[in-house]
Structure formats: structure tokens, C-alpha cells
Chains A and B, each alone.
Chain A
């Protein structure tokens, strides 16, 4: 590896797991339901520790599989179960024009472009695959290193800048071109 960026890291076996996007999206759908049920109780008992526990769980679990960068506003299911923050340019809406002829990253020549992978994987995803064309709003950098699961249940990750929200009333889900 010529470039030592955090985005370049991959744990052994993690690519194999990610190459099963259909299974992953099903696991995701179930986990969302489960967590939404469990979280209110967690919050009641120990609000502070549940945040810390979740940050740990995500950093380790999602860190292992997706090399999660802890952006705090997870859109994995919208991007072919491939983490867009593994793109060194932090692109949330698709690949740049620098992708190499062999499908590798402009910045990290040894790695596949995460968006080439995201596109391929999204094609195999029956439930969320179509979401890859959704326009993703600017990243809220203030959510870095917080728990994306808690943010999801609390709705904090859906809050877009007010100007953005005014222009696209459906917020996060808006502006699909078809």
C-alpha cells in the first residue's frame, strides 16, 4: 500500500462479507426493527452508557466489515452496502471522474473504487438497491464519532441544513431523478 490513508484499510475477510449485499441488506432491515424496539429501554436505563456502548459496537463491528469511519449518519443501505466514507474524497453521491481503467481508486491505486463496488452490489439488492440514485445531502460533520444507530432512531441523521430542506421538502429521501 503506497498510501496510508484510514480509508485504505480492509480487515481480512471483510470484502467477502460485503460481496453478499443481498444477505446484508436483509440483516440490516431486521436490525433496524430490533434496535428501534430495544433503544427506548436502553435510553431509559442508561442514556450515557448506551451511547458509549453503541459507539464501541459500531466502531468494532462496522469497523471490521466496512472500515466504518464513524460519520454518524449511516447510508450503507443506500450505497450498495459499501461505506461511501471509504472514498478518500468522501463522495456520498457516486464516483468521481478519476476512476482508473481497471476500476481502481484514483487516490489509492491498490484498492477498488468503493463506488464501482457500490454500484455492482446495489444491482444485487432487491430492497434498497434503487436508493443509490438518491441525492444525499451534505454530511453533518458535527455527528462524527457518534452512534449512527442512535442518530437514526432519534432522527438526528435526517436533519438536513435548513436551506437544503426548504428546497427538497422530503429531505433525505427527496430528489430522485425517476
Chain B
């Protein structure tokens, strides 16, 4: 265990993890964060606070994380390399850890041209791998990049992103391996709408043993309509949506589109869950927190916290594993608890 992270505990227990993305508000009112987080916190193990996603300005990820910690939730602090140089980033890592943030996701970041302020300066002083390794150095060696000592190193569970759905496909598993070697203990992928493509990627990852070195969470999300899908795949960087998915949404009545989008998302979750090496899902739904909750319920991933009594047991079990020299546990026992959970009733209707 690197940090006293709830997310890490859930993942190590072998339970199928659920994380979700919080839409940072365009507001200085903490209530706006709390309102969005309240819905998500019930249905997931950790909440990602985005760092100016799509290069649009919102409340900072560190600000959101501080509020989430204050409310007793488990945030994943997303850091992108787009806006800050190495000096600012290292300082923020210390600040975040001091505020009680336990999980960090290291990202490259969308380019400024994707957002509403394309005239901004792109920083990209570090790249995501250098950022990951810098955070690892601070945690494990207790120094800044400059070599200067830290009195208390930040205890962080470090993660990285992967996008199996865009070229160069052959390199994507290798790149994930590189991120794991640089210090990533968990991976959250880009939106998955193409399960066969993910399967090819995961097979290679499992062959390379990557699922034993890091926990891989697959990104999923509901599409509101074929129009929304078209927008996402043309305007949002790195999102790949196969024609078949768009056609399926186009084929239903306008009032049914949102429901069909949810159904597609739930089906993908269920397929992904059966896939070797997958440790959980990361649900992203822009401005639709309620939908996330509904999806978690209908996909049979609820309840999240009802197994609290078990959790202590898991930790002990983990300690035993650790003592016997077992590092990160393979994620094979995924589903072990999920399939026994009461929220499964709805699963049948979808298959």
C-alpha cells in the first residue's frame, strides 16, 4: 500500500471497482461541487476531479479535491501537463497530499486548441511519463526533481491514462507498460465504445502481465443521442465511436435515444467486466450525474459500501498476501462480490 487510499484498498481486495468523473463547476460556490459529488459518492469508490478537461476552464482540480476530501469523499486528483510547469506541479503534489488527497492521475492534457481559449500558452514542460516518474521520485525517494529533500514525502496512489482506441494500436499496450514502469499503479482508459478493440488491447496487456502490475479500469459512459455521439467523435480529442453504435442510436425514436445510450453503456460494462485483466470501470458522463447512478444500479454494480463489513477482512487478507510476497493481486476475482450483490435483478433484461 502506498497511501491510505480507499480506491487502492478496493482494487487490492479484488472487488470490481467503480470510479466516476465529477464535472467541475463554472462557479465559486462549493455547493455546486457537493451537489454533483453527493450523487456520485454513493455509487462509486472514488471520484475523479478533472483538470480543465477539453482545455475549457472550470474550477481547478485541486480546489474540487479539497472540497471532496472535506466532505469525506475519495477524490482522484487529475493533473495535466498543459497548464503548469514542473515547479508548479511538484508544489501542487505536496499541497494535494497535505489536503488529504490519496490518488493522483497523471495526464498529458487536451491541447489548448480543443477548448474555448485557444490563444492560451501551452506549457507541456513535462510529459505524462515524466510527471508520473517525478511523483514516484517524490514519494519513494523523498526528494524534488532538484534533489532537494522533502521533510514529509507525499503518500500517493499514482495512476495514468491509456487510450487503446486510437493509433498507433500496436504501441498502445507498450505505452501502458512504459507508464507502469514509470510508476503507475492504476490505469483509467479513454471511453470504450469498441469492445473488440479493447479485447485485443487487453489480451496483449495480459500476455505482458500488466494486469498484475497495475489495476486497469476501463472508461465508459452513456451517449445521449446519435448527435451527441457525432459531436464527441469529431470534436472531443481521442474519442472513438464505431459507426454501428451511432447507427443504433439513430435507429430509435427521439424519445428513446437517451435510454438506448444508457443501455449501450450497461452492455459495455457487462462485457468489460468479463474480460480478463479488467479491474473496474471509470464512468464519465458530462453533466449527467444522475445517469451515472442509474447505470451503476442497472449494471449490477451496487451497492458499493454495503460490503463495508467485509472490507476490514479484505485488508487483512491483503496483508497476508503481502506477507507471502504477493504484490498487486491479479484482478481475476472480479465479480466475486458483485455477482452476489442484490442490485443484479436488472441484469437479465439487458441480455
Which of B140, B168, B181, B240 has a CB less than 8 Å from the CB of A120?
Answer: B168
Instruction: Establish whether residues B129 and A93, one from each chain, have CB atoms under 8 Å apart when the complex forms.
Output: yes
Size of the chain B interface, CB-CB below 8 angstroms: 49
Question: Which of A13-21, A22-30, A41-49, A94-102 makes up part of the contact surface?
Answer: A94-102
For A103, the chain B residues whose CB sits under 8 A away are 167-168
Instruction: Establish whether residues A141 and B175, one from each chain, have CB atoms under 8 Å apart when the complex forms.
Output: no
Known: A96-B108, A97-B161, A163-B147. 20 other contacts (CB 8 A): A88-B122, A89-B127, A91-B108, A93-B129, A94-B171, A95-B171, A97-B166, A97-B190, A98-B111, A100-B166, A106-B114, A115-B171, A116-B168, A119-B171, A138-B86, A161-B146, A163-B144, A166-B141, A167-B141, A177-B181
**Residues 253-295 (chain B) with a chain A CB within 8 angstroms:** none
**What interface size band does chain A fall in?**
35 or more
Question: Which of B36-44, B130-138, B297-305, B315-323 makes up part of the contact surface?
Answer: B130-138
Chain B min CB distance to A61 (Å): 26
- State A3–B86 Cα separation when bound (angstroms): 27
- State A96–B122 Cα separation when bound (angstroms): 15
Instruction: Establish whether residues B147 and A166, one from each chain, have CB atoms under 8 Å apart when the complex forms.
Output: yes
Instruction: Establish whether residues B181 and A135, one from each chain, have CB atoms under 8 Å apart when the complex forms.
Output: yes
Which of B122, B128, B148, B240 has a CB less than 8 Å from the CB of A101?
Answer: B240
Instruction: Establish whether residues A162 and B161, one from each chain, have CB atoms under 8 Å apart when the complex forms.
Output: no
Asked, given contacts A103-B168, A175-B181, whether A3 binds B161 with beta carbons under 8 Å apart, the answer is no
**What is the interface of chain A mostly: helix, strand, loop, or mixed?**
loop
Give A contacts to B, CB under 8 Å.
Answer: 3, 88-103, 106-107, 113, 115-116, 119-120, 133, 135-139, 141, 161-168, 175-178
B180 within 8 A of A: yes
Instruction: Establish whether residues A89 and B126, one from each chain, have CB atoms under 8 Å apart when the complex forms.
Output: no
Instruction: Establish whether residues A166 and B168, one from each chain, have CB atoms under 8 Å apart when the complex forms.
Output: no
- Binary contact readout B151-172 vs A (1 if CB under 8 angstroms, 0 otherwise): 0000000000111001110110
Q: 19 A-B residue contacts at CB 8 Å?
A: A89-B122, A91-B128, A93-B129, A94-B178, A95-B175, A97-B161, A98-B110, A98-B237, A133-B174, A133-B178, A135-B129, A135-B181, A136-B129, A138-B145, A162-B145, A163-B148, A166-B143, A167-B137, A167-B141
Instruction: Establish whether residues A167 and B146, one from each chain, have CB atoms under 8 Å apart when the complex forms.
Output: no
Q: How many A-B residue pairs have CB under 8 A?
A: 138
B338 within 8 A of A: no
- Binary contact readout B202-228 vs A (1 if CB under 8 angstroms, 0 otherwise): 000000000000000000000000000
Chain A min CB distance to B301 (Å): 25
B182 within 8 A of A: yes
For A141, the chain B residues whose CB sits under 8 A away are 125
B238 within 8 A of A: yes
